[in-house]
Amino acid sequence: MTSTLPPAQDRAFLFDWLAAVFLREPDTATIAVLRGDDGAALLAAVGAMPGLAEDAAALGAAVRAVHAREGSDADASVALAARFGTLFLGAGGAGSAHPYASIYLEKRTHGAAADRSAAFLASHDLAVGAAIVEPADHIAVQLAALAELSRREAVADPGSAGSLVAAQHAFVAAEILTWVPEFRARVERDDPNGYYAAVARLAEKAVTGFYAAA
């Protein structure tokens, strides 16, 4: 049983989008989209999911604020790229918001958490793409795995769909909830009221709210 599990296609959309945000910096075109009608529709779709309305709105406000401060889509993109580096690429030092489970669970990268996530992917005929130079315990990889399992669930027969939901629950409990709350706290600490703080809250609330045991 789940407390609030949105339709599988909605989850696939959300987790794919969150994974993309955590994987690379937004470019100028992304900023322009987020500020326009398409971005408003995207954030409205995210906000319509249980428990996500407040942070979807906060993300939109953060994009508008950074654009107003920087003066253009290009300069807003540069500012968010710099914040991305400070938060996620190590520029903020040892205590920054590293996006790897191993950092929080083992105090190092490429630890057992990465091996466990890779094994989970392999058990579902998945793997980190060749173009992604990150270990399997990166938050973007873990969210992308949930997106793919949700996509498969959407077209599966009832028995197979139930097994895919159970697999998502198990993965979230064992490999995501063990570290994402601390990750989110670090992002909020270093990006108060910002774009990445809102995205981190959306990710945490989605995995905790959607997959919480009833």
Show contacts of 112-116: CB within 8 Å, 24+ apart.
113/137, 113/175, 113/178, 113/179, 116/174, 116/175
Tokens representing residue 30 in the block: 């992304």
CA–CA distance from 164 to each of 150, 168, 172 (Å)?
A: 7, 6, 12
Adjacent-strand bridge partners of 17? none
Place of tokens 């990150």: 134
**For 8-211, which CATH class?**
mainly alpha
Q: Please work out, in degrees rounded to the nearest 5, the angle formed at the alpha carbon of residue 67 by the alpha carbons of 62 and 69.
A: 95
Q: Exposed/middle/buried for 69, CB within 10 Å: 0-12, 13-18, 19+?
A: exposed
CA separation for the pair 44, 29 (Å, rounded):
19
CA separation for the pair 94, 78 (Å, rounded):
23
- Where residue 1 falls among pLDDT bands split at 50, 70, 90? very low
The average pLDDT across 127-145 equals 94
What confidence score (pLDDT) does residue 90 get?
86
**Mind listing the pLDDT tens digit for each residue in 55-69?**
999 999 999 999 999
Question: Where are the chain's structural domains?
Answer: 8-211
Where is pLDDT greater, at 2 or 168?
Answer: 168
What confidence score (pLDDT) does residue 214 get?
44
Residue among 172, 174, 167 nearest 209 (CA): 172
CA separation for the pair 104, 111 (Å, rounded):
10
**Mind listing the pLDDT tens digit for each residue in 91-135?**
888 889 999 999 999 999 999 999 999 999 999 999 998 889 999
Tokens representing residue 4 in the block: 């609030």
What confidence score (pLDDT) does residue 14 get?
98
Instruction: Supply the DSSP symbol for 176.
Output: I
Instruction: Supply the DSSP symbol for 110.
Output: S
Tokens representing residue 64 in the block: 């508008």
Q: Which residues have a Cβ under 8 Å from the Cβ of 60 and sit 6 or more positions away? A: 34, 39, 40, 43
Residue 191 has pLDDT above 60, yes or no: yes
